Every structure is written in structure tokens, then in C-alpha cells.
Structure 1
Amino acid sequence: MPATWSIPAVAPQHTLDLRAVSLLLEAPREAEPTRAMLHFLNALLPVEYISLVSHMADPPALLEGHAYGAALRNVTSQCFDKYRRHFYVFDDAIRIAGQMRARHGENAEVTALRFRAGEIPDSAWRHRIYEREHLSDRLTLLFTPAPGTAFSINLYRSEASGPFGEQEIERVLAVAPLLRQVHRNAVGTGAAARQMASRVALARARLDAREAGLSARELDVCARIACSMTADGIAADLEIAASSVITLRKRAYLKLGIHDRAELVRLAA
């Protein structure tokens, strides 16, 4: 059974240096605010990977996934695809997220869940993700920024860094309410959400002006791709299956006569 913690809405007193705080303040200005969270956390302790997951549907959806440092290959999307297809049903985080979402009221608390590689209950999950990508530990922060919602921020450590130490976990738990608030402001209801909606609307209008015969759904998908949203993020945003996003993308690219996102970005500019 993985270790769990319940963290109150107000963080305990914890000193943060100004450099770390300045990194987190950048989050509302970014299209991918979780990237700023990763840089903030690395000012406190080593974290190689971070993912932001929506638990609004079954299966869950990856909204963002990042690796820390240019030298580290970002495997979050590939790993989540395997997790989503085969292994999420074994994850206690799914059960906890469902319970939190079912309360239907806004809960300012954060629940933390830790899964060391050796504690993964399914051997295939452990082998195909943790052992294959040399991961040693996962620390998950679950929260409900709005009534009836549930999200998680997942922090991963590599075998090279080793599992999270007790003091490192204390540092993460101390800033967990702050991370929840940043997500609520930047992703849920804040300026970044409005900015992203404006960017998507503009990209959609420019693509529609190309008169390539794109359907409304194809325009919806392509506009979000042009704004750097992932397939799982688009699926969650449009409330469709990730496989449908891939199909719509293929159809749209064929109509537009393009082959990749870089070409799409140029058309939407």
C-alpha cells in the first residue's frame, strides 16, 4: 500500500528563496504552466519529470508532461499512453481522485500519494514504464480546484537521483497548496486559460480562412495542435477520445497538404 498524506489548504511555514518563487510566478504567463512548476521544484529538490493529469473521465487524460533539462529525453507522453491503455486501473491515485471528484464541493486540501518503483502492484506496469525508463519513485499531488473536478501533479525521480528522501517529501508537501493554487489560477480559471482560449480562437479563424474544407471538429483539433496542446489535452478539452483526435488530425493534414505540426503552425500564424 503506497504512503498517503492529507495536506491542509494553508501550507505550513516554509522558507522559499526568491529565485524559486520567481520561477513559479511565471506559470500564469505560460501556455504550459506545469513547466514552470517543474523549474520551481528543481530549485528545491531534483525532479526529472512532471505530468499534469485530468481525472475528469475514465480513462484519465494527460494535459502536460515535461522533462527537466535539455539533455533528458521527454518520455512522459509515451509512458502515459501505456499507462492509460493498460495500467491506470491498478493505480490508487485513480480511486482517490474519484472520491475527491464525487464530493461535488470545492476542497482546498491536497492529498499526496507516493509510489516507489518496488511498490508498483502490477509487474507489467513496473517493467514497461518504471524499469524501462529507469524511474525510481513517483510523488502524486491530487486536488480539486473546482467543484466536481480532480487533477493530479505527478513528480518522477530517476534511478540516478534515487527515491525521494524524507526531507525532500516534506519540501514538496509544504509547497503543495501553493502548486494547487497556481494550477487553479493559471490553468483552471485564470489569465492563462483566457489567453489560451484567445490563441485557439485566432488559430482556428486563420485555418478556416485557408478554405481547405476542414470540418468544424477538424478546425477545433488543428487550432489546438497549433497552440501546442497534446492529443490527450485536446481530447480532454473537446471531450472526445484521444483516438478521435488522431483521426481528425490525419484527415485535416491531408486536406491541408501538410505532414507535421511545424507546417500547421505556419499556416495558423
Structure 2
Amino acid sequence: MIYSRIEPCGHDPSVVPAITRLLETVGTPDFEHSIKSILSLCASVGEYIAFVRRTDEKVPYIVMSASECGGSARRAEAYRARYFRYDPINRLLDRSTPTGIYIARVKSEEILQSDYRQTCYVRPGFIEKLTLASNEKTPVVLSVFPKNHRVEFQRDEVERLSNIGQILLSVIKVHSRMTAGVTRTRRLTAEDVEVRLRANFPDLSGREVAVCARSLLGSTAEGIANDLGIKQTSVLTYRRRAYDRLNISSVHQLSTMLIQ
């Protein structure tokens, strides 16, 4: 991993309107669109993920993620739940590293954990990611992947992202604080739970995931059957198969596994 500390510097005048828009949308649903817009002005970005590392949590809190090739939510959840600990950028977040803003380039071959490399690099077709990281009391990280698969970021793209790194990370931190309560109080959907299940238990089939997600939300076999358009007996079959794969016998055990 190649990294360097970012020093405060001037912004490219061409991105000033985008920065203004970014500040105007902090704490609103339009913020993610503003982030995407400003990133596109700086580099050819195909996917990004932003997270904060809170002191009372062992895993990062995902602020946002998006991808042009789809599947970013699934990869972000897998990264949060299983792969974060294997990311070389953790060296930048360590207390032994001087406090500051850093930019790092991580190549796919530097990822030693094979499942992590396959899920977040090889399958979506990325050969590197560029990470902006602040290792202050509440670390903030923004990672971007190149739009053109199997192509690295150009030097001028890295420079432009570096120039706005400090303001991007600061604004993302404020946005996460403003929206954290909203996120926690939003009603959980079956799709939300499915993302978590796929990330944590990749061996489950699509139908097993769908049935288990609705079971976790308290739906009856009849309700699940109506929602998925299948027979109640099929619901019971898919749920039993899932439990057998996970070596459990109840939805309570499943929920416990999911939050560990």
C-alpha cells in the first residue's frame, strides 16, 4: 500500500460550485448525489464507499455506498461485517500513526484474504482502490474504485481527489452525525435484512435468504408465502434447509448469529 499525508491546499476553482452544493445538502437525501457529482468532476469513479469508525463499535458504520455496476450495498455490508479487519488501510487508522488526512492506493494483489479480494475486487473487476482517510478521534474513510474496470486511476485524478480530501471527509463526518438517528429509526425492510444475510451467510440460496429475512422480521409462514408467491410448505422447507446449513434450529439463534 502506497500512502501519503495530505497537506491543506487550494481547491480547483471548477469544483467550487460542487463543493457549495455539497455543503447545502449535508444531512439531506440529496447528499449522496452531491458526493457522486463532485467525485465525477475529479476522477472517473465507478464505485465508492464512505464509513466512520466510532470508538464504541468494533466494525465501521457505513455512511453511504454506490456503484455503476450494481451490488455496492451487498459489498459494503460484506466489507463492514467480515472484511474490514483485513483492509491494509487499518494501518492508517491505528493510534500509532500521526493524526492527519491521508490518501492511499491499495492494489487488489495486496489483499491477502482471498474471500475479501474476490468479493470486493476480482468479481466487480477492480484492480485498485483509492482511499482518503482521517484518523482523528472518529476516523472517517472514503474509498473510490475506478470506473473503467481493470484500469488504475491517473496521476491527475489522484491529485484532484487529494486536493478536496480534507473537505470531503469533514463533510461526510457531519452528515453521518446528522443522519445517524434517522438511519436507526427507519423501519427495517426485508431487503435490508436480505443484504445482511447475504453478506454474513453467502452459502445460503436466494430463496433461503428471502424466507429467513422475513422470518427475522416476524412474518408467519402464511405471510411469507403470500409475499414471495410460494406455498407455505415451501417456506418451511427453505427455512429448514437454511437452518441446517447454519447448524441452528430457531430464528432466535439466527438473529443472535447476525448481530455478533
The normalised TM-score by structure 1 is: 0.62
Q: Is this contact kept in 2: 1:143–1:150, CA < 8 A?
A: yes
Count the aligned residue pairs: 209
Q: Report which of the two structures shows the higher radius of gyration computed on alpha carbons.
A: 2
CA deviation digits over 1:7-59, x for unaligned, max 9? 13x33453334543344234315237344212211022211111112323323
User: Does the C-alpha gap of structure 1 residues 79 and 252 become closer, same or farther in structure 2, counting only changes over 3 Å?
Assistant: closer
Secondary structure of the 1:129 match is helix
1:160 matches 2:112: no
Instruction: Using the TM superposition, give the Cα deviation of residue 128 of structure 1 relative to its aligned residue in structure 2, in angstroms.
Output: 3.2
1:248/1:150 CA distance change after superposition, 3 Å? farther
* Unaligned ranges ≥5, structure 2: 202-209, 229-260
Q: Which residue of 2 aligns with 1:47?
A: 45
- CA distance in 2: counterparts of 1:39 and 1:47, whole angstroms: 10
Number of the residue aligned with 1:92 = 88
Question: Aligned runs of 1:2-81 on 2, under 5 Å?
Answer: 2-8=1-7, 10-31=8-29, 33-56=31-54, 57-67=57-67, 72-81=68-77
After TM superposition, the structure 1 stretch with the greater mean CA deviation from structure 2, 14-23 or 38-47, is: 14-23
Alpha-carbon distance in 2 for matches of 1:139, 1:170:
11
Among all aligned residue pairs of Structure 1 and Structure 2, give the percentage whose two residues are the same amino acid. 16
Q: Is the 8 A contact 2:88 2:111 kept in 1?
A: no
User: Retained in 1: the 8 A contact 2:141–2:169?
Assistant: no
CA distance in 2, matches of 1:5, 1:251: 45
**How far is 1:6 from its partner?**
0.9
Q: Does 1:139 align with 2:139?
A: no
1:59-87 deviation per Cα after TM superposition (whole angstroms, max 9, x unaligned): 334232112xxxx3432222234334543
CA–CA separation in structure 2 for the residues paired with 1:17 and 1:89: 34
> Which residue number corresponds to residue 231 of structure 2?
none
- 2:219 counterpart of 1:254: yes
Q: CA 1:30–1:132 in 2, change beyond 3 Å: closer, same or farther?
A: same
SS in 2 for 1:83: helix
Pairwise CA distance, 1:252? 4.2
Mapped to 2, the partners of 1:118 and 1:78 lie a distance apart of: 22
Q: Which moved more, 1:52-61 or 1:79-88?
A: 79-88
Give the structure-2-normalised TM-score. 0.64
> RMSD of the alignment, in Å?
3.8
CA distance in 1, matches of 2:104, 2:175: 23
Structure 2 distance, partners of 1:248, 1:172, is 39
* Residues 137 and 158, structure 1, Cα contact 8 Å, conserved in 2: no
Q: Determine the C-alpha separation between the residues in 1 that align with 2:148 and 2:111.
A: 15
1:112 aligns with 2:110: no
SS at match of 1:171: helix
User: 1:91 Cα deviation (Å)?
Assistant: 1.4
* Secondary structure of residue in 1 paired with 2:29: coil
Structure 1: state its 5+ residue gaps: 201-219, 235-241, 261-269
